[in-house]
Amino acid sequence: MTDSLMLALADDDEMHAELVCTWLERQGFRVMRFPSGDDLLSWASAGERHVDAFVLDIDMPGRDGIQSSRELRALNGYARVPTVFVSSTSPRAVVEAAPDTGGVEFIRKDGEMFVRLAAWLNDNLYAAR
């Protein structure tokens, strides 16, 4: 079922991005990985491309995850794509800063991250099929 699902991951922490990308691929997802929000927006702006969900780190240089999400929502074809934010930032700060970004979830980068990410993917992608 997941073999047709495409995720776009933007995270400037190379080690963390590799870990998340490897885990997602082992779950059967196809993953496009971007080292920054700027790179993700360049890709998305180049034309409507299919993606089932965005996984965005909040704390990135240049366009952070919050700004990236806002700008993705304005592009043709991405307004309804679910977004999950991942960060070591406190969830309260994210909720207060990002009510209009279209992000549907915040997952803290900690020991429970993969459990929560799996639950989010199940609730937001598998349930929609």
> For the segment 66-95, what is each residue's pLDDT rounded down to a tens digit?
889 889 988 988 988 888 888 887 666 665
Does the pLDDT value for residue 27 go beyond 60?
Answer: yes
State the pLDDT at residue 29: 92
Distance CA 92, CA 106 (A): 10
Structurally, the chain folds into a number of domains equal to 1
- Residue 86, domain extent: 2-126
User: Which structure tokens are listed for 103?
Assistant: 């992000």
Cα dihedral sign, 121-8-88-96: negative
Which residue did the predictor score with more confidence, 18 or 102? 18
Q: Considering the chain, what is the average pLDDT of its residues? A: 84
State the pLDDT at residue 91: 61
Compute the 3-state secondary structure of the chain and give helix, strand, coil in percent, each to the nearest 5: 45, 20, 35
State the pLDDT at residue 1: 45
Helices 65-74 and 37-45: crossing angle in degrees, nearest 10, is 10
SS3 of 80-92: CCCEEEEECCCHH
- Among 20, 1, 22, 2, smallest CA distance to 10 is for 20
Supply the CATH number for residue 82's domain.
Answer: 3.40.50.2300
Average pLDDT over residues 16-24: 94
> Could you report the per-residue pLDDT of 94-114, keeping only the tens digit for each?
656 555 666 667 888 888 999
Does the pLDDT value for residue 17 go beyond 90?
Answer: yes
